[in-house]
Structure 1
Amino acid sequence: MILSIVTLCLLYIGADGQESPKVVPFTSLVKTVIGSKTSFTCQSLTGSSPLEIIWFKDGKKLFDSPTIKIRTNEDGSMLIITSISSMHSGNYTCSISNPYGQDSFTTELLVEGAPNWIEKPQDTKIQLHETLKLQCSSSGYPKPKVIWKKFKDSSWTNFSSDYLSGSNLKQFDDELIITNVSRDLNGRYGCSVSNGIEPDLWSEFNVVIEGINISQR
């Protein structure tokens, strides 16, 4: 074990005796309770001063905020989440660099919680035969499931290709794409989001198809 550590350290020592950083792996907390507190500690196994330590979440640089605090000194850096919500789920990366090199480590934080809106579908007007794109995206863990609905005959029913005439429907995790839209699409729609943890999300919107059928000219 001691021999392995010595060998690893030697690999990060340059020809001039200066060392590049090597981040010590840190563990993630899985299924963290909403409202609680958690932290990550990032340190370098090797590395000559000065060391620059930067935190990222899902590839975006992190700064102090009402719920995230970053405390850095010569020994390392600690990222503290003071009040966990489902929005904090994601990949956290600690990057350490100095003039002789750079290293990083990434861990995933999964927070069980009800869905939260990222983007709601909006009332939409579109020309006949064009392509309609609708977005219904949210965060949350477990991963939320999206169900599209249409209001018909005084009730909400699951939306499917049965409602379409001459249009093509593609549904992804949180996006609905309909090409060559027809007048059959006119109406009121809903987007239901759930992941087994209440409350679920629901949003309603209107789709209006404008223009004249070429065959009717």
Structure 2
Amino acid sequence: MLSSPTPLVLRTDGVMGEYEPKIEVHFPDMVPAAKGSIVILECFALGNPVPEITWRRANGVPFPNKVKMKNSNVVLEIPSFQQEDAGGYECVAENKMGRNTVKGRLSFHAKPQWVQTMHDSALSIDESLFWECKASGKPKPSYSWLKNGELLNTEVK
């Protein structure tokens, strides 16, 4: 990852200046996460004294037991991401000089899965046929009908 240059100040008095935490790595405002995936959020902060990093859910809901904090809480890992894991997350970096917070949201995505499928049918030439298919997923799946690989012009009801 590339970032802007960080100035280096050489102090000759032997005193290290104290300053409030500055969070250097931000996660995006909205992060799409797939069902069952491993989601990793990182929050790295500079400060003197070294900031303590904590995580919290934006809605106050406690983290499930499966959530892991790694590298002195810099990394938050959510294994097997599910719909209930979606929502706002906050990283808080704090030392005696102050605090800094970044927020982001995880949105849940699930690939389409068939709820109802069609079955082979044998009809006489003058009979009508009604086939219905339903799928679940997030975002909501769209449907296309094909006959022998060619797109049919249909009206979705």
State TM-score, norm by structure 2.
0.56
Normalized per residue, the structure richer in strand is 1
Query: How far apart in 2 are the matches of 1:141 and 1:102?
Result: 36
Q: Tell me what 1:42 maps to.
A: 43
Q: Identity percentage over the alignment?
A: 24
| Contact 1:110/1:141 (<8 A) preserved | no
Note the C-alpha offset of 1:107. Answer: 0.9
Q: Tell me what 1:23 maps to.
A: 23
Q: Tell me what 2:79 maps to.
A: 82
Query: How far apart in 2 are the matches of 1:50 and 1:94?
Result: 15
| Contact 1:55/1:62 (<8 A) preserved | no
Q: Deviation string for 1:88-115 (max 9, x for gaps)?
A: 111111000000010010011101259x
Q: Tell me what 2:99 maps to.
A: 102
5+ unaligned residues in a row in structure 1: which ranges?
10-15, 115-139, 143-195, 198-217
Superposition RMSD on alpha carbons, in Å? Answer: 3.2
Aligned 1:6-21 pairs, distance under 5 A = 6=7, 17-21=17-21
Query: How far apart in 1 are the matches of 2:39 and 2:30?
Result: 8
Note the C-alpha offset of 1:27. Answer: 3.2
In 2 relative to 1, CA 59–39 (structure 1 residues): closer, same or farther, beyond 3 Å?
Answer: same
| Contact 1:55/1:94 (<8 A) preserved | yes
Runs in 1 of length 4+ with deviation above 4 angstroms? Answer: none
Q: Secondary structure at the match of 2:84?
A: helix
5+ unaligned residues in a row in structure 2: which ranges?
10-15, 112-136, 142-157
| Contact 1:86/1:141 (<8 A) preserved | no
> For this pair of structures, how many residues does the alignment match?
107
Normalized per residue, the structure richer in helix is 1
State TM-score, norm by structure 1.
0.42
Query: How far apart in 1 are the matches of 2:30 and 2:37?
Result: 12
